[in-house]
Amino acid sequence: MRAELLIKGKSLTGTSDLTLLAPILPGLVPSLDSITYKTRVKRLLRTLQGGRVSLHEYAAYRPLSDAVERVAAIHSFRVAVLEPENKVLLAVTFDGTWESYIRVLWQKVGTLLDIIFCSTEGYVVSHTASFEAWTGWVRRVQVETSFYYNTHGLTVPDAAYLRGEEEIHRTPAGDTPNDLLATRHVARSAEDIAWEASQTRTPGSLEALRQGLQSLAVLFRQTDTHLPGTRDGDVLKRAARDLLAEFMPLANDPKLEPDIANPMKARFSRQLAWLNSADDGTPEPPRPVPVLPDQADVTMYADLQAGILRPYVDMTHGCALLIAVDDPLAGALLLDELLARVTTEATRPKDGAEVLNVAVSYEGLRALGLSETELALFPQEFREGMEARASMLGDFRANHPRRWRLPLRNWGMPAGTTPLRVEMSAVHLVVQLRVGATSTETDPTQPGHPLHATIAALFNRPGTGDPLPGIRLLHVQGLQRHFNAAKQVVDHFDFADGDSDPVFDLEKQGHTYRNRLPGGAVLLGRATVADVATPPRTPEAKER
C-alpha cells in the first residue's frame, strides 16, 4: 500500500513555520519546592516573558542580544502550556527552509529550548546530543500545520534594514544629508551591537552590565526548581551561559573599575560563582568539536559519478533525457545498461569525450520497486519534491510551479500525434549526456546531433527502432554551454570564475579563503565543525 507523505510544516512566500507539541512529565519536580513539572515550566515561561518585555519595551538602550535575535531568521516565537492536555506548544515562524533553519536553531537556541522542554517526556538535550538525535526528537513531536498565513515576504534582515532606514529619514538632517546616510546604511545585528559594547568602557557597556546582572538574578532563582548537580540544573546553567554570553566577558574583565567590580562581586557573589563554574569548580567546556582529518577518508570514488565534485571541461553538446519506468524489471535492465556507461570520478575520460550521468527521482525509486519502508529512509526534503518546496526557494507568483513551462513529449511519438505535456511527477529517471564535438546541430532529436545515435541505441530496439518495452523516453532536452565576451564559460547564474565555489579533497583549497570542504562530510554525512562529536551510529542511521 502506498504511504501518503505528510508534510507537517507549511511555507508561504519564503517563510515557513514549525509547530511542536510535547507532553509534560507527570508527577512532582525533585526540588526544594513541591511543584509539578507543568507549574515549573509555566513559571519559567512567565519569567522569560517578563525579562523580554523589560528589555524590549522599558530599556531605552539594549546592548545585549537575546538568543532568538541571534538566529536572525525568526519572525515570531511563541510558547504556551496547553490545559487540560498538559502539553507544551512551540510555534515558530522563520525565513527559509526547515533544513537550513533547524541547524541554526540547534546551534543558537538549543539551550533555551533545553530549559523549556526539559520538563517534557522524551526530550533530547541539544547540548549533549548530536544534531541528528535532536532533530529526530523535533520530527517526533512536530505537528501538522493545516493553515499558515503571514503578511509579507520580507526576511528578518530585510525588516531590520527598513526599520533603520525609516529611522534615518525621520531624524532631522545634520551635516550629512539623510539620503546619503540611507545609502550608507547597513543593518547591524544585535550581536554586533553587543560586541561593540563589550570592547569599550562606555555608557553602553555599563548598561550591559546592569541588564546582565538583572537577568542573572532572575535566572539564578530558577535553581530552586532546577537543582544544581542534576540534569535539569546543568540545563539551566548552560542556558544561562548562552543567554548571558555577552555579559560574562564584561563581568569577568580584570580591568573592570574597582568601584564597579567590588560592589558587583559582593552583591552577586553566589550568582556569579554559579554562572562561571561547573559543579566541580572548573570551567565547563563548550560543545565539543570533532577533530577533522587533513584528508577526508573517501576511497570510493569509483562509486561517485563524475561532474559532481569537479565540472566537465571542453564539452560543447549535451542533452537531458526524462524517462518514465512502467515496469520495474525493465527499469532494472535499463539501469544496468546505464550504470555500465556512467562516468565516475575514478574513470574520468579525456576532456571532450562522451560522458553519461544518471539520477533517480523519489517517484522513480517507487517505480523501480522499493518498498514504502525503504522509501521512508530517504531525507524528508527529497521525498517532498521540488514543487512542494517551491515557496521556500522563492518560486512563487511568476515562478510558481503552476506557471512552469512543462516539456512536451518529443521522442517516439507516432506521426500526426499531438504531443502532451510531461508532468514532473511522471519523471522517474534523468540521464544527462555530454560530448565535445564540432557539429553545429543543437537539437538532439535530429540525426545531425553528435548524441542522437547514443540516445537511439539506449532507448530503441536494435534493428526495428521500436521503443523499449516498459520504458518511455518522455522528453529530450538539448543542453548548450554559454560563453561571455571573453570566451569564458558562464553558467546559468552568469558566473564565470567560480571563486566562491567550495573545493574538495581532489583539489587544493584557495590561498586567501579556506574554501576546502571535506568530501566525507558531503558524500558520507560525516561530522563537520558544525556538529557535536557523535556516538557510533545506530543500524537505522547506517542504513540511511
Examine the domain organization and report whether 217 and 159 are in the same domain. yes
Residue 177 lies in a domain: no
Q: Report the alpha-carbon distance of residue 70 to residue 154 in Å, rounded.
A: 18
What DSSP state is assigned to residue 33? S
pLDDT for 214: 93
Residue 221 lies in a domain: yes
How long is the chain?
544
Q: Report the alpha-carbon distance of residue 237 to residue 271 in Å, rounded.
A: 11
Closest CA to 201 of 144, 142, 158, 260: 260
Count the domains in the chain: 2
- Residue 516 cell numbers, joined: 576546502
pTM of the prediction? 0.74
pLDDT for 89: 98
Q: Report the alpha-carbon distance of residue 361 to residue 429 in Å, rounded.
A: 6
Q: Residue 81, Cβ neighbours under 10 Å: how many?
A: 16
Examine the domain organization and report whether 381 and 260 are in the same domain. no
Examine the domain organization and report whether 320 and 242 are in the same domain. no
- Residue 266 cell numbers, joined: 559582593
Residue 508 lies in a domain: no
Examine the domain organization and report whether 338 and 398 are in the same domain. yes
Amino acid at 332: A
| End-to-end Cα spacing for the chain | 22
Q: Report the alpha-carbon distance of residue 98 to residue 16 in Å, rounded.
A: 7
User: By the 8 A CB rule, do 171 and 37 touch?
Assistant: no
Examine the domain organization and report whether 362 and 474 are in the same domain. yes
Residue 170 lies in a domain: no
pLDDT for 537: 55
Residue 515 lies in a domain: no
pLDDT for 288: 53
Q: In sequence order, what DSSP letters do the residues of 515-535 get, joined into one string?
A: -B--HHHHHS----TTSPPPP
Dihedral sign (CA 455, 460, 461, 464) = negative
The domain boundary, picked from 457, 480, 503, lies at 480
The domain boundary, picked from 426, 455, 480, lies at 480
What DSSP state is assigned to residue 322? E
Residue 511 lies in a domain: no
Amino acid at 295: Q
Examine the domain organization and report whether 388 and 319 are in the same domain. yes
Residue 268 lies in a domain: yes
Q: How far is CA 276 from CA 216, 244, 266, in A?
A: 11, 11, 15
Examine the domain organization and report whether 462 and 414 are in the same domain. yes
List the Cα angle 342/344/348 in 5-degree steps: 105
Examine the domain organization and report whether 415 and 327 are in the same domain. yes
User: By the 8 A CB rule, do 21 and 79 touch?
Assistant: no
Examine the domain organization and report whether 225 and 338 are in the same domain. no
For every residue of 86-128, which 3-state class applies, written as one string?
CEEEEEEEEECCHHHHHHHHHHHCHHHHHHHHCCECCCCCCCC
Q: How far is CA 115 from CA 37, 108, 197, 234, 310, in A?
A: 12, 13, 27, 9, 45
- Residue 120 cell numbers, joined: 517534557
Domain that includes residue 206, residue range: 11-165+186-276
Adjacent-strand bridge partners of 423: none
For the purposes of burial, counting CB atoms within 10 Å of the CB of 467, is it exposed (0-12), middle (13-18) or buried (19 or more)?
middle
The domain boundary, picked from 221, 242, 276, lies at 276
Examine the domain organization and report whether 253 and 369 are in the same domain. no
pLDDT for 368: 97
Examine the domain organization and report whether 267 and 404 are in the same domain. no
Residue 331 lies in a domain: yes
163-202 burial string, b = 16+ CB within 10 Å, else e?
eebeebeeeeeeeeebeebeeeeebeebbebbeebbeeee
Please name the helix (run of DSSP H) or strand (run of DSSP E) that holds residue 490, with its range, or none: strand 489-490
Q: Report the alpha-carbon distance of residue 363 to residue 422 in Å, rounded.
A: 14
Per-residue pLDDT of the chain (544 residues; tens, 9 = 90+): 555 667 788 888 888 999 999 999 999 999 878 899 999 999 999 999 998 888 878 877 777 778 888 888 899 999 999 999 999 999 999 998 887 788 888 988 999 999 999 999 999 999 888 888 999 999 999 999 999 988 777 889 898 899 889 989 999 988 899 899 888 888 877 667 666 656 655 666 788 899 999 999 999 999 999 999 899 999 999 999 999 988 998 899 888 889 999 999 999 999 999 999 764 444 444 455 455 545 545 556 778 899 887 788 888 899 999 999 999 999 999 999 999 999 888 887 777 789 999 999 999 999 999 999 999 989 888 998 888 888 877 788 888 899 999 999 999 888 888 999 999 999 999 999 999 999 999 999 999 999 999 999 999 888 777 889 999 999 999 998 877 888 777 766 666 666 566 666 555 555 554 556 667 777 776 666 555 544 455 566 555 5
- Asked whether the bond before 177 is cis by omega within 30 degrees of 0, the reply is no
Examine the domain organization and report whether 337 and 224 are in the same domain. no
